[in-house]
């Protein structure tokens, strides 16, 4: 874990008591993603599962659809670089160039903006259902498994479940990255999202919803709140959206028939 | 407040009890920023204080330094568009083009990446100090003033204080936007950041730290955690960084001499 956290000297103040002590904070480092030898993007992230993050980011951004699109993935952990070689030519279209700009709300924009008009991906129609107790257990699981959060308070977590089975947990300084790391790992292992439940510790904005949608996740659960745009998209795309999943409580915002 | 929240039908599950009821969620809408008639960026945000958000974003991104750089600002609230006319030509340099790409970790990257090498802005050397009780009060104030958060659980807040005086509070779906809205308003009103305290409800990643640094904020306080990169930058730039400010407790991560 040493490369993921840093011990620092702090002044801890509690009421009128002040003491010098040590604290543990989370590592934030840059990861530069080269695709077909083109420098595409630098992500700020926890230095872990970098290949998965790179592949997941490329999937979420529409640069690849599955493992067959990938020729090779190479990582230099120390320098913080991932090289992805695609079988086809890299196409950076104008929309990506524009959508790249949208960051200030932890969100990416233009792609999304078009979605206010129309979702052009597939409708998620899987008949999969789960019990609400399944989610109660997953919430307890989230708290249990988020080891870096418990040490530093500085991460978000994402978890992936298949009916009756925990599959993956990833933490990162950004809630987007945590989800991309899971998606990237699934792409590389040819694991489909179609029969999975995705759980996030963070708020569900439109961008988070879109990542789940592209990966065809039918049930998306968060400890936090959804936004109006994420709810609108979830309804339109056919995703079951659960928010404020805490303890034994949860709000099901749409497509509630999947929670029984 | 009607344009900021939406009432929706949900299924609320609590233990084995299930009921249909209504809930209030936060609005997320796109805001497209045109600068000198060039479409620069689409931000996803709470539809409020759009002109300030646009100006704050441009300041944080280095497109303008102060009000004198601005010819005019026009907003179409309904269409979600802000037009900023600068007195000088818009220069989109290669670094911005690249840095625009960095979003997945709610962060923007290349600009920052260079900062791993060297901070080229000014060192923040103001001798301003505050008492730790000042921060205790500000934390209570944050909770009190975050009205949209209390209604929806879906926002982050940023607050600005001058010694003994509360100045501004802004909420947004993104912690970055909340800060940019404050900075933008200050730019337009020619309020300097040099003698201010900035408070954020969210984690302090490198990007948040850089926004404060560019606005010359000497004391940055968060209810959440800092990252290793934000701490490194705060030390280098001379900012007092306070994290986990909750109730009567706080951690001072660097330049602690300003908290007395």
Kindly state the percentage of chain B with pLDDT values over 70: 89
Taking Cα atoms as reference points, which of A44, A128, A56, A119 lies closest to residue A80?
A44
Please report which confidence band the pLDDT of residue B152 belongs to, taking 50, 70 and 90 as the band edges: very high
Which residues on adjacent β-strands are paired with residue B44?
B30
Please report which confidence band the pLDDT of residue A92 belongs to, taking 50, 70 and 90 as the band edges: confident
Report yes or no: A6 and A27 within 8 Å, Cβ to Cβ: yes
Q: For residue A102, what is the DSSP state?
A: -
The set of residues, in sequence order, having a beta carbon less than 8 Å from that of B78 and lying 6+ positions away, is none
Please report which confidence band the pLDDT of residue A93 belongs to, taking 50, 70 and 90 as the band edges: low
Please tell me which of the candidates B28, B53, B113 has its beta carbon nearest to residue A30. Answer: B113
Query: pLDDT at residue A116 above 80?
Result: no
- Give A52 to chain B, closest Cα distance, Å: 13
Q: Is residue A83 part of a domain?
A: no
> B239 burial class (0-12, 13-18, 19+ CB within 10 angstroms)?
buried
| pLDDT given for residue A90 in this prediction | 83
CATH of the domain at A186: 3.40.140.10
Mean of pLDDT values over B109-124: 60
Please state which of the ranges A226-235, B14-23, B111-120, B143-152 shows the lowest mean pLDDT.
B111-120
> A144 burial class (0-12, 13-18, 19+ CB within 10 angstroms)?
exposed
Whether residues B147 and B86 fall in one domain: no
Q: Which residue has the tokens 């100090």?
A: B129
Q: Name the E strands within B27-176.
A: 29-35, 38-45, 70-76, 81-86, 156-162, 165-172
| pLDDT given for residue A22 in this prediction | 97
Whether residues B62 and B136 fall in one domain: no
The set of residues, in sequence order, having a beta carbon less than 8 Å from that of B113 and lying 6+ positions away, is A30, A32, A42
Q: Which of B58, B78, B112 is the last residue of a domain?
A: B112
Query: pLDDT at residue A114 above 70?
Result: no
Mean of pLDDT values over B134-138: 95
Report yes or no: A185 and B256 within 8 Å, Cβ to Cβ: no
Report yes or no: A164 and A141 within 8 Å, Cβ to Cβ: no
Whether residues B107 and B38 fall in one domain: yes
Mean of pLDDT values over A195-202: 97
Q: Is residue A199 part of a domain?
A: yes
CATH of the domain at B49: 3.10.20.10
Q: When comparing pLDDT for A16 and B92, which is higher?
A: A16
Backbone angles phi, psi at A18, to 5 degrees: -125, 130
Q: Is residue B142 part of a domain?
A: yes
**Number of folded domains that form chain B:** 2
The set of residues, in sequence order, having a beta carbon less than 8 Å from that of B135 and lying 6+ positions away, is B197, B221, B242, B245, B250, B259
Please report which confidence band the pLDDT of residue A122 belongs to, taking 50, 70 and 90 as the band edges: confident
Helix (H, G, I), strand (E, B) or coil at A74: strand
Mean of pLDDT values over A6-34: 96
Query: pLDDT at residue A108 above 60?
Result: no
Tell me whether residues B32 and A228 touch, CB distance under 8 A: no
Domain that holds residue B197: 132-258
Taking Cα atoms as reference points, which of A241, A244, A215 lies closest to residue A229?
A241
- Looking only at Cα atoms, what is the longest distance across chain B? 63
Q: Is residue B139 part of a domain?
A: yes
| pLDDT given for residue A102 in this prediction | 42
Interface of B with A in 47-106 (CB under 8 A): 53, 57, 60, 98-106
Tell me whether residues B173 and A244 touch, CB distance under 8 A: no
Query: pLDDT at residue B109 above 50?
Result: no
**Contact residues, chain B, for A225 at CB < 8 Å:** 25-26, 152-154
Query: pLDDT at residue B18 above 60?
Result: yes
Mean of pLDDT values over B234-255: 97
Whether residues B140 and B254 fall in one domain: yes
**Contact residues, chain B, for A173 at CB < 8 Å:** 105, 107, 203, 205, 227
Pairing of strands A196-200, A156-162: antiparallel
| pLDDT given for residue B89 in this prediction | 87
By C-alpha distance, the chain A residue nearest B176 is: A104
Q: How far is the CA of A247 from the CAs of A68, A136, A149, B66, in angstroms?
A: 41, 6, 18, 48
Interface of B with A in 191-230 (CB under 8 A): 203, 205-207, 224-230
**Contact residues, chain B, for A116 at CB < 8 Å:** 30
- A226-248 pLDDT tens trace: 999 999 999 999 999 999 999 99
Whether residues B137 and B254 fall in one domain: yes
Whether residues B246 and B164 fall in one domain: yes
Query: pLDDT at residue A250 above 60?
Result: yes
The set of residues, in sequence order, having a beta carbon less than 8 Å from that of B239 and lying 6+ positions away, is B124, B209, B212, B213, B217, B218, B219, B220, B233, B254, B255
Report yes or no: B78 and B24 within 8 Å, Cβ to Cβ: no
The Cβ of residue B244 has, within 10 Å, a number of other Cβ atoms equal to 20
Q: Is residue A57 part of a domain?
A: no
| pLDDT given for residue B163 in this prediction | 82
- B46-71 pLDDT tens trace: 999 999 999 999 999 889 999 999 99
Directed axis angle between helix B175-188 and helix B50-60, to 10°?
90
Please state which of the ranges A68-77, B119-128, B249-258 shows the lowest mean pLDDT.
B119-128
C-alpha span between A249 and A223 (Å, rounded): 10
Taking Cα atoms as reference points, which of A180, A110, A174 lies closest to residue B108?
A174
The set of residues, in sequence order, having a beta carbon less than 8 Å from that of A186 and lying 6+ positions away, is A160, A168, A192, A193, A215
Kindly state the percentage of chain B with pLDDT values over 90: 80
**Contact residues, chain A, for B49 at CB < 8 Å:** none
Mean pLDDT for chain B overall: 89
Active-site positions of B read 106
Q: Is residue A37 part of a domain?
A: no
Q: Is residue B2 part of a domain?
A: no
Please report which confidence band the pLDDT of residue A153 belongs to, taking 50, 70 and 90 as the band edges: very high
The set of residues, in sequence order, having a beta carbon less than 8 Å from that of A78 and lying 6+ positions away, is none
Taking Cα atoms as reference points, which of A233, A223, A260 lies closest to residue A128?
A260
Q: When comparing pLDDT for B206 and A114, which is higher?
A: B206
| pLDDT given for residue B175 in this prediction | 92
Q: Is residue A76 part of a domain?
A: no
C-alpha span between B190 and B184 (Å, rounded): 10
């Amino acid at each position: 874990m040493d490369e993921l956290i840093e011990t620092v000297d702090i002044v801890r103040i509690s009421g009128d008591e002040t003491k010098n002590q040590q604290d543990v904070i989370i590592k934030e480092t840059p990861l530069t993603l080269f695709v077909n030898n083109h420098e595409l993007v630098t992500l700020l992230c926890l230095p872990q599962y970098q290949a998965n993050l790179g592949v997941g980011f490329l999937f979420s951004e529409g640069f690849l659809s599955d493992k067959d699109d990938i020729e090779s993935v190479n990582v230099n952990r120390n320098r913080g670089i991932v090289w992805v070689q695609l079988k086809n030519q890299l196409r950076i279209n104008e929309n990506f160039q524009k959508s790249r700009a949208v960051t200030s709300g932890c969100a990416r924009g233009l792609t999304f903006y078009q979605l206010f008009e129309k979702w052009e991906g597939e409708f998620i129609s899987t008949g999969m259902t789960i019990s609400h107790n399944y989610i109660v257990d997953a919430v307890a699981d989230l708290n249990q498994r988020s080891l870096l959060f418990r040490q530093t308070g500085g991460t978000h977590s994402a978890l992936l479940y298949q009916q009756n089975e925990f599959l993956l947990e990833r933490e990162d300084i950004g809630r987007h990255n945590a989800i991309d790391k899971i998606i990237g790992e699934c792409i590389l292992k040819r694991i489909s999202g179609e029969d999975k439940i995705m759980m996030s510790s963070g708020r569900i904005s439109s961008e988070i919803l879109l990542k789940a949608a592209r990966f065809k996740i039918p049930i998306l659960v968060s400890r936090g709140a959804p936004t109006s745009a994420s709810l609108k998209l979830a309804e339109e795309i056919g995703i079951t959206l659960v928010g404020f999943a805490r303890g034994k409580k949860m709000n099901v915002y749409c497509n509630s028939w999947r929670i029984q």
